[in-house]
Amino acid sequence: MGSKAQLEKMQGRQNFRNLWHSDLISTIQVDTPYCCFALFCAPCVSYLLRKRALYNDLSRYVCCAGYVPCSGKCGESECPEFCLCTEVFCCFANSVASTRFLLQDEFNIQTTQCDNCIIGFMFCLQQVACVCSIIAMISGNDGINEASHLLSCLSHYVYCTVCACMQTQHKIEMDKRDGKFGPQPMMSVPPVQEMSRLDQPIPPSVGYPPQPGYGQHYGYPPPSQGQGYPAAGYPAQGYPR
């Protein structure tokens, strides 16, 4: 996929209107066991989720879901299982992001501002840790070196936590896709409505009890005897004689 096509896809995702079934913050509450599984066995979860995203058909597998320049050039058609294992262990971050893009493009799912802030904080923390490590290596300052190690550990922790939440989010979305939450509610077609006629029986009242001072007729009280016209089917209008 060329850079122009990638740019068009990124711009197209800004117009997506659907939302994830669960946001990143709520995933640990929605499926806590799977979130722990994704935290401690992240590459295995990435393998399973990519396979499931492809509807368990690895003949459709392309390295990083076709979102990197090397996609389709790594012998995926000959041994997709081995290529996918290599991807999730050697390029774990790309494997998670590729599965995410694959689901977003399939279901037109947008990334919320909250998700963007969490993911952006994760990347910024990693970049700061990397810069501190470089400065510590050049200067040889023990204080900066300790700070770089601390930031590096913190960035790895945040990275693992966010990736676990992202993978749980992907799993929940595919549970929804595969109908594991039961049939989704659909808008039913409203029944055919007919115009009411004056000779129809008055329907029973719905919602509110009858108010005092009103009869069973709508709008006007029943006319007194001797007024109006005796024509059948038409209410008396109460004209003076």
Tell whether 226 is covered by a domain: no
Round to whole Å and give the CA distance between 77 and 210.
Answer: 73
Calculate the average pLDDT of the chain. 77
Q: What is the mean pLDDT of residues 148-172?
A: 87
Tell whether 195 is covered by a domain: no
Tell whether 198 is covered by a domain: no
Q: State what percent of residues in the chain have pLDDT above 70.
A: 72
Round to whole Å and give the CA distance between 168 and 175.
Answer: 10
pLDDT value, residue 138: 87
SS3 109: strand
Sequence-distant (≥ 6) Cβ neighbours of residue 227 within 8 angstroms: 236, 238, 239
Domain span at 99 = 3-177
Residue that wins the pLDDT comparison between 21 and 212: 21
Structure pTM?
0.66
pLDDT value, residue 125: 83
Tell whether 165 is covered by a domain: yes
| β-strand partners of 218 | none
Chain center to CA of 135: 40
DSSP letters for 128-182: HHHHHHHHHHHH--HHHHHHHHHHHHHHHHHHHHHHHHHHHHHHHHHHHHTTTT-
The C-alpha angle with vertex 165 and arms to 163 and 171, in degrees rounded to 5, equals: 105
Structural domain count, the chain: 1
Q: Which long-range contacts (CB under 8 A, 24 or more apart) does 126-129 make?
A: 126/155, 126/159, 128/155, 129/154, 129/155
pLDDT at 58 over 60: yes
- Output the CA torsion sign for 162, 167, 170, 171: negative
Residue position matching structure tokens 């990124």: 10
Tell whether 200 is covered by a domain: no
Tell whether 239 is covered by a domain: no
pLDDT at 114 over 50: yes
16 vs 96, 104, 111, 155, 169, CA distance in Å? 20, 8, 9, 30, 17
pLDDT at 2 over 60: no
Tell whether 187 is covered by a domain: no
